Structure 1
C-alpha cells in the first residue's frame, strides 16, 4: 500500500520552491506587508531556504529543516520578533497569494491554508 503525502500531492520540491519564491515576492512588493518585510534581512536567500526546508518536512517530504537545524521550535525561534495579529495577517496575505498561484487540488490548498493560519496564529506573541 502506497501513501501519498501532502508534499507529493502539492507537487514536491519544485512546487514548494515556487510557493516560497512567490511568498517572498509578495512580501517584497506589497505595501501591506512591509511590517513583516522589515523583520527580515535585506537578502532573503537564507529565509527562503529555511522556509522551503521547513515546508518540506512539515508536508511529509524530506525532513530537511530538522536535519540541518534540529527541531523547528517555531514559536521559540520567533520570540525575538514582535508578532501580533497585524503581522500574522501580513504573513497570511503573502502566503495566500502565493498559495493561489500553485497548481494543486483546491481541497489540499484549503487544508494547507487552514493549517498555516493556525500556525501563524500560534506565532503571535504580542497583544497589539
Structure 2
C-alpha cells in the first residue's frame, strides 16, 4: 500500500482545495451583489446593509466545507430550515437564489470536479429551504 505524503490533495479538506476563506468570501460577496438588486429576494433581508448576511453565509459555508468553526461558535447550530422558516421560500425564491448563486460559483473558476461538488450541495440546500407551495 502506498503511503500518501502529508499535505497532499487527498488529505486536504474541500475548504482547502478550493482556496480557503478567500474563496468563500468571494462567493458570498458575489452572491449578495445579485441579491441586492433582486426584487424578490432583497425584501427577505430586513437589514439595510447586506454585510451581516454576507458574513453569516461565508462563515457557514467555510465551516460546512471543513474550515474554521466560527459560525457555530458565534451562532450555535446552523438550523438552516428553522432560520429560514419566517420567510416565504417558494419555487420562485428558490430559482432566484440559485441563479445568483450560479453566477457567484461561475466567477470562482473552480476545477470542474470541485465546482460540481459545491453546486450539488447548493442545489440540494436550496431545495430543502422551500417551505411554501406555489
Partner of 1:121: 127
Q: Is the 8 A contact 1:84 1:127 kept in 2?
A: yes
Residues 61-102 of structure 1: per-residue CA shift (max 9 Å, x gap): 111111110000000000000001111111100000000000
- Asked which structure has the greater CA Rg, the reply is 2
- Root mean square deviation, CA, Å: 1.1
- State the distance in 1 between where 2:22 and 2:118 align: 17
Q: Which string of whole-angstrom CA distances, capped at 9 and with x for unpartnered residues, describes residues 38-73 of structure 1?
A: 111221011011001101101111111111100000
2:40 to 35, 55, 74: 35
| TM-score normalised by the chain length of structure 2 | 0.89
**Secondary structure of the equivalent of 1:61?**
coil
Aligned length: 125
TM-score of the two chains, using structure 1 as the length reference:
0.92
**Structure 2 residue runs without a partner (length 5+):** 1-5
Is the CA contact (8 Å cut-off) linking 2:36 and 2:42 kept in structure 1?
yes
Matched, 1:26 2:31: no
Judge conservation of contact 2:89–2:131 (CA < 8 Å) in 1.
Answer: yes
